[in-house]
Amino acid sequence: DGGITQSPKYLFRKEGQNVTLSCEQNLNHDAMYWYRQDPGQGLRLIYYSQIVNDFQKGDIAEGYSVSREKKESFPLTVTSAQKNPTAFYLCASIDYAGANVLTFGAGSRLTVL
Amino acid sequence: GQQVMQIPQYQHVQEGEDFTTYCNSSTTLSNIQWYKQRPGGHPVFLIQLVKSGEVKKQKRLTFQFGEAKKNSSLHITATQTTDVGTYFCAGGDYKLSFGAGTTVTVRA
């Protein structure tokens, strides 16, 4: 089955540590996105990438970094510069040739201890 | 930048009743999308509206796009326990802006 795989599902981190969240898709979608979800705040865009080797900052990019070396993969690094990293992180993709709607992964829940 | 607002933030509904959630944008939208996130899950696409004044139905769910393409609504009739979750609207092109969502709970 085609879909988006995020790992790990749960992650605990100490303050001051960087952590990388994995996102892999086998849908052959062009664009990939990272969203952060906090209670009562909906989904906020961190970064997005429309093509390989290119990505754009979203609304809350500070303290995060990404790469897009392959079409299938869009990992997100939460750096120690991110002041409040505890959140639910969602990866998504869009097929521009199709309906132009988001398909989401199951999410990764990061807790900073 | 573009902002999408949703009201109400919480909706407590008696099973069998109807309710409506509203979505308003500060700018004209090319399209509006609706997603549903079940508790503990991830958002799942429900529907996309593109045309001014467009109305689409999915069983007990009715979606509407305003004439000015700046607002939308989701109306659910005869609410069931399966309707529990958070409903998000989202607008925009490459950078979809999401509303904060309406979290629906159902009293049996």
Q: Do B94 and A42 touch (CB under 8 A)?
A: no
Q: What pLDDT does residue B38 have?
A: 96
- For residue B69, give the nearest of B48, B87, B94, B46 by alpha carbon: B48
Res. B93: pLDDT tops 90:
no
Bridge-based pairing of strands B10-14 and B102-107 is parallel
For the residues B39-65, what does the mean pLDDT come to? 96
Q: How far is A82 from chain B (nearest CA, A)?
A: 22
What phi, psi does A59 have (nearest 5°)? Answer: -80, -20
What string of pLDDT tens digits covers the 113 residues of chain A?
679 999 999 999 998 899 999 999 999 999 999 999 998 778 999 999 999 999 999 999 999 999 999 999 999 999 988 989 999 999 999 987 777 899 999 999 999 98
Q: What pLDDT does residue A1 have?
A: 63
Token duo for residue A68 = 């897009």
User: Side by side, which strands form the sheet with B61-65?
Assistant: B4-7, B19-25, B71-76, B61-65, B55-58
Closest residue of chain A to B100, computed from CA coordinates: A42
Report yes or no: A51 and A96 within 8 Å, Cβ to Cβ: no
B69 vs A40 pLDDT, higher one: B69
Res. B2: pLDDT tops 80:
no
Count of Cβ atoms closer than 10 Å to residue B86 Cβ: 22
Count of Cβ atoms closer than 10 Å to residue A39 Cβ: 10
Residue type (1 letter), A84: N
Residue type (1 letter), A46: I
By Cβ distance, the residue of B1, B41, B45 closest to A101 is B45
Q: Which residues of A touch B88 (CB under 8 A)?
A: 42-43
Count of Cβ atoms closer than 10 Å to residue A49 Cβ: 20
Residue ranges of chain A whose CB lies within 8 Å of a chain B CB: 31, 35, 40-45, 48, 50, 58-59, 90, 99-107
Q: What pLDDT does residue B14 have?
A: 97
- How is B4-62 classified by DSSP, letter by letter? EEEE-SEEEEETT--EEEEEEESS--S-EEEEEE-TTS--EEEEEE-STT-EEEETTEE
Q: In the structure, what pLDDT confidence band is assigned to residue B3 with cuts at 50, 70 and 90?
A: confident
Mind listing the pLDDT tens digit for each residue in B83-92?
A: 999 999 999 8
Q: What pLDDT does residue B92 have?
A: 83
- The single residue listed with the structure tokens 């097929």 is A95
Q: Do A101 and B44 touch (CB under 8 A)?
A: no
